[in-house]
A and B are shown apart, each in its own frame.
Chain A
């Protein structure tokens, strides 16, 4: 087993935190809280490291004289500008909010907005790509719920509204619950695999 130390650490920390959840001992609980606190800090540091990696990647791309190097330069510039402004003033300072409101929000919500087209396009092609009852039920449901959500200008169709909410409140809830329970089982199994050292994503 490579890197026995890291494996030991992973397992030990995991087990302590897990026990901290289930064992009603004050000590364990507070220990769990401290450990999770550290984990949160580490995750935050990891984000910075990740951004370091982002910078590194785009630095290398931008020095490489190619078409997309311009993009990488733009990325680096905007990144450092934002770091500077938001860092110098606070995240909620008007200048920071100006960047947020006039660059980030427009782009991000536009990205979501084009999904309104791309998703419709995907559904149109879905039936050709995958013609089976699953897809048929899927598309039919989508259409019903869509038209049941809002009135067509002057004309309102209450029946559609009721059908929509029935779909959303009965069968959808049933299915979603089944999916969530299954996922929960998957999550537990995956976590356990890590805590017995079978999976070692941390370079082990």
Chain B
């Protein structure tokens, strides 16, 4: 999403209509259109045919890194690099190291998942164009970029009207 796209946007008033609209738009053969809503809508994934998010794999990987990183750190520092007799305990006293390993697991997992989200949503974005101020409050919208196959402004606006869009406009997104 290096730079913004131009295209047609239809503004809808209700949750139901936007879902309907999403289905229709997809039937019309549009691939990379965007459905915008102020809150996550149940069933929107099917409507737009969005695949399940891949973030969990990142999380899992990072978790493993954290876990074994923790193990390596504790083992190397207290048994290899400079082994010191502390309270008569063995140099490598695993039970005592588990909390460290656990906390590092969580830390790595959490932070890299967030990193993944940033990557996936291209955040942070500075000052992205806004189709309609109410899209983060009460309204919904479908945006079809002009590079999508079968892009035809008149046909699209017609379709949006048919779906009961309250407003149809050319927009940058």
B is a partner of A: no
Chain B residues engaging chain A, CB cutoff 8 angstroms: none
Q: Which residues of A are at the interface with B, using a C-beta cutoff of 8 A? A: none
